[in-house]
Amino acid sequence: MGWLMVVSTIVLAFAVFVGQRFYALNHLTLANRELTRNHLPRCRLLQDIEFGAEDITILRDGLAILSTGLKYPGLPSYSDDPGKIYTLDMLDPSLTPVPLHIEGDFDQKSFNPHGISAFTDENDRSIYLFVVNHPYHESQVEIFQFLEEKNSIVHLKTIKHDLLHHVNDIVAVGTDSFYATNDRYSSHDAVGFLVTIFGLAWCDVVYYSPAKVEVVAKGFYSANGINISPDHRYLYVSDIFKHAIEVLEIQKRDLLVPVKVIKIKNIHSDQPIVRQVYADDGSVIIGSSVAARYGGKLLIGTVYQRALCCDLR
């Protein structure tokens, strides 16, 4: 009888713990938040973008590049078609997305683009496009060369590595080197679920180059978006469960030093520390994942749905 009470106590304690963790996750994901619309006066949905524009990068001349059609590993898919990459001239009043043609030896049928980043080689002005790809629920990085005059990208190489096990986003720092975020601790769904439930900050940032691949930052609950300062001195990493952006100083390519955490405080108050530019309750777009600004315009992408462009002036 004693052992039964012990087992019952353990089961009850575990059930209470799991319940508390689910409650905490619900709070962290803002699932219970009521959002008030804050629309800009001049916005338009982009044509032909129906199944998400999960990530966006904008070149110096105002040409935006969008990754579309993501089928996130482990979640329901909203389209059976392969993913695509589009370009969008932010200075063109028509704001018409144009699909990029993919050249080279590349399996386009399984193309599942996620995070993207562009790098310009200052020696010859060649532009390289880095794309996180999840073919058949795997995780890898594709490197393309962008040929703007042909509106095409040429596949150069595919990068796979054990440390790049669940890549979300990427920022290129060379023609074949980059930083990448893992938004889950493991590629195994069960392990990733348990890590999330127990609230373990085990996600990381990986630096990749042909000569070296290593984890350069740890301690993230879910490392998501990543970007770099124009002078390449600082790396910015979004931790979505922490509701924060970590700022890391790049002392060497493989040595990052935490500087500070940026938190958006009082965003719904009359005097927010960070100004809210746009907010929607799902009536126009659902699940925004990225925003990019150029030439007085704001381009907003979503994980699975539409893309929106608004005039900030």
Q: Give tens-digit pLDDT for 54-102.
A: 999 999 999 999 999 999 877 777 888 999 999 999 999 999 999 999 9
Least confident of 1-5, 159-163, 227-231: 1-5
The residue that leads in pLDDT, 250 or 272, is 250
pLDDT tens across 180-224, in order? 999 998 888 778 777 777 788 899 999 999 999 999 999 999 999
The residue that leads in pLDDT, 3 or 226, is 226
**Residue 114 among the catalytic residues:** yes
Least confident of 45-59, 151-165, 276-290: 276-290
| Structure confidence at residue 19 as a pLDDT band (50, 70, 90) | low
Looking at CATH, the fold of the domain delimited by 41-311 is given as Neuraminidase (2.120.10)
Cα–Cα distance for residue pair 256/259, rounded to 1 Å: 9
Place of tokens 């399984």: 110
Q: For residue 269, what pLDDT is reported?
A: 64
Answer whether residue 14 shows pLDDT above 70. Answer: no
Q: For residue 26, what pLDDT is reported?
A: 59
Average confidence score pLDDT of the chain: 88
Q: For residue 254, what pLDDT is reported?
A: 82
Range 157-178 burial, b when 16+ CB lie within 10 A, else e: eebeeeebbbbbbbbbbeebbb
| Structure confidence at residue 37 as a pLDDT band (50, 70, 90) | confident
Answer whether residue 52 shows pLDDT above 70. Answer: yes
- Evaluate if pTM is beyond 0.85: yes
The residue that leads in pLDDT, 177 or 35, is 177
Q: Are 246 and 220 in contact (CB under 8 A)?
A: yes
Catalytic one among 114, 134, 165, 166?
A: 114
Annotated binding site: 54-55, 116, 168-169, 224
Q: For residue 238, what pLDDT is reported?
A: 94
Annotated binding site for Ca(2+): 54-55, 116, 168-169, 224
Q: For residue 33, what pLDDT is reported?
A: 61
| For range 34-44, the mean pLDDT | 83
| Structure confidence at residue 267 as a pLDDT band (50, 70, 90) | low
Cα–Cα distance for residue pair 236/53, rounded to 1 Å: 21
Q: Which residues contact 106 (CB under 8 A, 6 or more apart)?
A: 142, 155
Q: Are 304 and 52 in contact (CB under 8 A)?
A: yes
